[in-house]
Amino acid sequence: MIDRRTFGFGTAALGLSLAAPAVVRAQAGYPNRPVRMLVGFAAGGPTDIVARQLAQYMAESMGQTVVIENRGGANGNIAAQEIAQSQPDGYNLFYNTSAIAISPALYPRLGYDAKAFVPIGLTATVPMVLEVHPQMPVNNVKEFMDYVKANADKLSYASTGNGSITHLGSALLLGRIGAKVTHVPYRGSAPALVDLAGGRVHFMTDTINSSLPFIQDGRLKPLAVTSTRRLAALPNIPTLTELGLQDLEIGAWQGIVAPAGTPPEVVQKVNGAMMTALKNPEFLSRLETQQTTPLGSTPEEYGKYILAELARWDKVVKENGITMN
């Protein structure tokens, strides 16, 4: 199910060493009790919704309940740190987002690093869309880039928070343009989109599931999507890749990791349940209605992907001088 254009990375896997000896021996008949999967965001949010649906279908394969627990705060870092310090017995999983590859560059004293986890699999991604206020005098990406370059000191862009994927996604694009624009962070998509639609900020790179209602009723104008392929919901909107802006594929991706030392046979069993869920027509239909693209991967492929994303966002953070102060 992997799009090979996205996952063509090297051979190391997170420095996690999937082949390293497990510090905990796998229990016979795993799982023989409910499995806990932490989500680093509040209940009812888009990440939580996908995680709960996935957990339901994984439970059918595993023969045990997969219980979702929410540990919101610090862009998912509270949940990540808890899992990093949890028993690596297969009963503690983390439904992570792209924040796992962004936070190390933003928080020098994070309290954990990539070696604290073993990858299980990439589950899905939510594509993003570059959108502007309808009165902004641009109708395509070239016009947008020219306008931003000429008016950078007069413009501002919104994000769902400092250091979020929506912030860094725009920063990555602005780096390609060679322009510095005022960043206005918000506490989530809803207030950011309201202010963008109201003309209080000028543009944003946001997830399609949040932005689509604003685009459909004309309150926002989409210029491009950040996925490798055009979206069914916006078939006439080009991708940045097809416009010649290579290496700007961006998505709010999600996956599953476990504490380092989780037995390899457990990792494979959880991955198998995840992959079975991602092939379930009913689940795929539910993802489609949420504008979420299913992916799927092996643990090794996911490890390579996280490594590449760590390097990518570390560079963006450093080049733009982004801090959490």
**Does residue 29 surpass a pLDDT of 50?**
yes
pLDDT of 325: 57
Least confident of 1-5, 30-34, 58-62, 320-324: 1-5
Tell me the average pLDDT of the chain: 89
The region that residue 17 occupies, defined by phi over 0 for left and psi between -120 and 50 for alpha, beta otherwise, is left
State the average pLDDT over residues 108-124. Answer: 88
Q: Rounded to two decimals, what is the model's pTM?
A: 0.85
Q: pLDDT > 90: what percent of the chain?
A: 76
Comparing 191 with 107, the larger pLDDT belongs to: 191
pLDDT of 19: 36
Residue 53: its H or E element = helix 46-62
pLDDT of 21: 40
pLDDT of 218: 97
* Closest alpha carbon to 62 in 72, 54, 50, 70: 54
Residue 285 tokens read as: 């239909």
167 falls in which pLDDT band (50, 70, 90)? very high
**Does residue 23 surpass a pLDDT of 60?**
no
